[in-house]
Amino acid sequence: MPAVHASDNDYSAELLEAQQRLLRLRQELGQPRLQQRPSAPQEPARNEVSQQLVNAQKELQHRRQLAGVTPTKTTTSGTCRSNLQPGTDEKPTKSSQNKTAGTVAVYPSLLLAMLKQDQAAAGRVYLLLRYLDTSGRGWLYVDEIRERLTRKDSPLKVMGWRRLRQIFHQGEGIFWERDNKGRIWLKSALKIALELDCQRLKGKRVDLPVNALLGGIGTVRAHFYASFHSGRGNDNPISRETLEDITGLCPRTQREYDRKAQVMRQQNIAVGPKKTKITAEEQYWQRGGAVFTFVDSQGKQGPKNRHYLAWRLPNSYQAPHQQRSKGRQKKINQQLVRLVNNGVQATDQQAVGKLFWPDGAAAGKAYSRDQEQDAYWPRGKTQRRPAMIWYVLVAEVQ
């Protein structure tokens, strides 16, 4: 009996020491104390599981930091739950506030129609709603839109709720319709083109960055204008006057938007006939002060250092947006033709003959058909000048 009591006392001391270690570990983990009868064989397993839990939680927190996910407050059980759904109380990380990745595919003709009709503000909201409609169902709840576009800590915040209500009223019947269930139904490209008097979609679709829609309205309008250059099928020269007819923007505003949207400009120079008294009089009479003397120091046109008459062509432009396929553009244009009154597209723009060709053979064929207008084709850039040099078959003077 005495030996048994001594053994029982030694065994109880080991259990007490293990219990104290468990209590200290639970206190460090922030877990509540549990009233549980200690068991000597199970304590090492509990201690090992608790340590694995601590290591797993540290690894999970480290991975969340790398992924930019901010978890909510920890529960009493020591576990964390992350929230990635829109419209919750989670605050986005600093990196997500500064930059939002993603693009919206859009027809440049629609963007230019928005500029002409002074609908750039409503058009921006429409494109953001298209971006938010990831499932493609064609509608969103007003509460969700308010949460994503007006909340202060939202990465897509562009305006306040009062201004957004004004935009909803402004774009009603043009970009969307609102029902009595608190939903905004987005209209198709065809219906928007009809409402904005856009009678034909031209060029290719472009990917408009979402970040371009989150700045000031001036930057948004600049990217709407620059989309025309991005959607063109070529980089042929185009004058400021022609751009004014197409976009409705004066040359001064075009230059300002070029700077905001980072549109690159390329100078172009046409090298004409050899300089003589007769050719100089003819070209000065046709083109005025734009004519100057070009010295062919490299002998590209003929003998070296021969003097030619040259003149400045309109600039070429290269915008930063990526092109996409035309999508349903052909079908939309066919439907537009049928829906316009009497099937005739009323326009006050006159057709302009093509002046710029990809090579000399195409330019020569065009010139043989009509010798009353110039035919240009590119030669390449010079070493001394950043301008593009163009050959030309000069039109005959009538």
Distance CA 314, CA 312 (A): 7
Confidence of residue 366 (pLDDT cuts 50, 70, 90): confident
Tens digits of per-residue pLDDT, 213-266? Answer: 998 999 999 999 999 999 998 888 999 999 999 999 999 999 999 999 999 999
pTM attached to this predicted model: 0.67
Distance CA 216, CA 222 (A): 10
Sequence-separated (6 or more) residues with CB below 8 Å from residue 99: 211
Domain boundaries, the chain: 2-67, 103-247, 266-317+355-398
Instruction: Say if residues 279 and 309 touch (Cβ distance below 8 Å).
Output: yes
DSSP state letter for 134: T
Instruction: Say if residues 375 and 367 touch (Cβ distance below 8 Å).
Output: yes
Confidence of residue 86 (pLDDT cuts 50, 70, 90): very low
Per-residue DSSP letters for 154-186? -TT--S-HHHHHHHHHHHBTTTEEE-TTSEEEE
**What pLDDT was estimated at residue 388?**
78
Instruction: Say if residues 270 and 313 touch (Cβ distance below 8 Å).
Output: yes
The dihedral through the CA atoms of 42, 44, 46, 49 has a sign that is negative
Task: Using the predicted structure, report yes or no on whether residue 3 has a pLDDT greater than 90.
Answer: no
Instruction: Say if residues 237 and 125 touch (Cβ distance below 8 Å).
Output: no
Instruction: Say if residues 388 and 267 touch (Cβ distance below 8 Å).
Output: yes
Q: Which tokens go with 145?
A: 């839109």
Tens digits of per-residue pLDDT, 118-175? Answer: 999 999 999 999 999 998 899 999 999 999 999 999 999 999 999 999 999 999 999 9
